[in-house]
Amino acid sequence: MKILHTSDWHVGRTFHGRDLLREQESVLGGLADTVADERVDAVVVAGDLFDRAVPNAEAVAVCSRVLKRIRAAGAQIVITPGNHDSAARLGFLGAFAEAGGLHLRTRVAELHEPVLFADAHGPVAVYGIPFLEPETARHALGVEAKGHGGVLAEAMRRIGQDLDAREGTRSVVLAHAFVTGGEPCESERTIAVGGVQDVPGAVFAGVDYVALGHLHGQQTLAEHLRYSGSPVAYSFSEARHHKSVWLVELDAGGLAGVERRALPVPRALSTVSGALDDLLLDPEHEPVEDHFLSVTLTDRVRPLDALRRLQKRFPHAVHVEWRPEGGRTGELRFAERVRGRSDEEIACCFIEDVRGDQAGPRELALLREAFAAAAREGES
């Protein structure tokens, strides 16, 4: 049996205010080609199908078209919700969807009920553990211990109990969690509760393959324990990620092998730094002109309207920060530097802090006029 392990689609997510639906549909729709080329039996999505609990109509339409293409290519689909999804909304009409080959495992009470497949070697049970919010899930599961480790251990105990009754059945588990040893990045929403967010990989012992979701970088924690990562980059911390999915193969003995299948990059991410005029003119930056760009400006004086000017050359520049060369980063915070100073001194300090240059004579005159007017108004 062949399984394509994916997760963290986050359909509907934006990138620094830019709509990504076109890019998401292009990349995710391409999974159908992999399904057809590799003769994949099942595609699993380990959480965060959508970016929001209530996705907009366009995101739902994109997701619907992608799932339809995957089904048409011949694979059944198993989805479990992540911390971004609404389990109740995602599971709506799940019983009817199952008849069409779309299996939604969204209820805590049913996490031990697998989707059953069969190949030439016998049955395969695929279990979906929805994201377990510890405080809510521990009551539903009857667990006293707080934290993700306790609720996931109970979930796996129930799965193990069901699996023990299915002699000769190979097993796959989907889970959306932060497993010890994984490397997070900036685009993931924390799932920490009470300071306890990671769970040991040993909690998943006893199954042939664990398809993890939540972390956006593809990672191998053990041969049978892997994160697929997100199919599209959602922060500049993912600029060096090689977005991929895992092609998992089961044989008569269980896990036969796992291979990486690269995904296309709809628009690359890059970071550049330098003085604004140099960035606008230097031919060295031609290769990144069409990339999503994060820019660090090093000008001594903060340039005005920098993002708009940058976008004339780099239309997909989306983030700008100012770090002047020789800047006074690491000195006292602004509030500490102005403590005990006059209004005029505070205003001048603010101008210098924001702009990197002192107020000129004309600006000082305007400030003094404003302070005098404010004082007169306060006396009247």
Domain co-membership, 250 together with 105: yes
Token reading at 327: 């800047």
Domain co-membership, 254 together with 271: no
Alpha helices in 284-360 (DSSP H): 306-313, 334-337, 343-355
Q: Which residue has the tokens 């980063």?
A: 329
- Separation CA 126–CA 109 (nearest Å): 16
Q: Which residue has the tokens 């991929």?
A: 244
Q: Which of 78-82, 141-145, 278-282 has the lowest mean pLDDT?
A: 141-145
Cβ-contact 173, 210 below 8 angstroms: yes
- Separation CA 58–CA 79 (nearest Å): 20
Q: Which residues on neighbouring strands pair with residue 126, listed in sequence order? A: 115, 172
Domain closes at, from 236, 262, 288: 262
Q: What is the mean pLDDT of residues 160-186?
A: 89
Closest residue by Cα to residue 246 from 233, 258, 263: 258
Token reading at 89: 């909304």
Element (H, E) at 181: none
Q: Which residue has the higher pLDDT, 102 or 182?
A: 102
Cβ-contact 189, 235 below 8 angstroms: no
Token reading at 91: 């599971």
Instruction: Give the range with max mean pLDDT: 2-6, 103-107, 341-345.
Output: 2-6
| Other Cβ atoms closer than 10 A to 129 | 27
Domain co-membership, 257 together with 271: no
Determine the pLDDT at residue 355: 64
**Per-residue pLDDT at 84 exceeds 50:** yes
Cβ-contact 232, 271 below 8 angstroms: no
Domain closes at, from 262, 280, 307: 262
CATH number at residue 291: 3.30.160
| Other Cβ atoms closer than 10 A to 368 | 13
Domain co-membership, 154 together with 271: no
Q: Residue 116: which pLDDT band, with cuts at 50, 70 and 90?
A: very high
Domain co-membership, 184 together with 320: no
Determine the pLDDT at residue 346: 85
Closest residue by Cα to residue 221 from 164, 192, 180: 180
Cβ-count burial of 49 within 10 angstroms (0-12 exposed, 13-18 middle, 19+ buried)? buried
Backbone angles phi and psi of 63, in degrees to 5? -60, -40
- Separation CA 279–CA 273 (nearest Å): 8
Structural domain count, the chain: 3
Domain co-membership, 92 together with 169: yes
- Separation CA 137–CA 114 (nearest Å): 19
Domain co-membership, 198 together with 338: no
- Separation CA 246–CA 3 (nearest Å): 8
- Separation CA 229–CA 85 (nearest Å): 17
Domain co-membership, 315 together with 199: no
Cβ-contact 101, 71 below 8 angstroms: yes
Q: What is the pLDDT of residues 46-71, one digit of tens each?
A: 999 999 999 999 999 999 999 999 99
- Separation CA 229–CA 294 (nearest Å): 22
CATH number at residue 105: 3.60.21.10
Determine the pLDDT at residue 354: 63
Q: What is the pLDDT of residues 312-368, one digit of tens each?
A: 999 999 999 999 876 654 444 555 555 677 888 888 877 766 665 678 888 888 998
- Separation CA 151–CA 157 (nearest Å): 10
Domain co-membership, 86 together with 222: yes
pTM for this predicted structure: 0.81
Domain co-membership, 57 together with 174: yes
Domain co-membership, 71 together with 19: yes
Residues 6+ apart with CB under 8 A from 55: 11, 12, 63
The amino acid present at 270, given as its one-letter code, is: S
Element (H, E) at 380: none
- Supply the range of the domain harboring residue 316: 267-327
Residues 6+ apart with CB under 8 A from 295: 271, 272, 273, 279, 306, 310, 314, 317, 319, 320, 321
Q: How far is CA 75 from CA 117, 171, 173, 280, in A?
A: 11, 18, 18, 48
Q: Which residue has the tokens 């600029």?
A: 239
Closest residue by Cα to residue 49 from 135, 184, 174: 174
Instruction: Give the range with max mean pLDDT: 36-40, 191-195, 200-204, 337-341.
Output: 36-40
Closest residue by Cα to residue 208 from 149, 159, 148: 159
236: three-class secondary structure by DSSP: helix
Domain co-membership, 177 together with 274: no
Domain closes at, from 303, 327, 351: 327
Cβ-contact 206, 224 below 8 angstroms: no
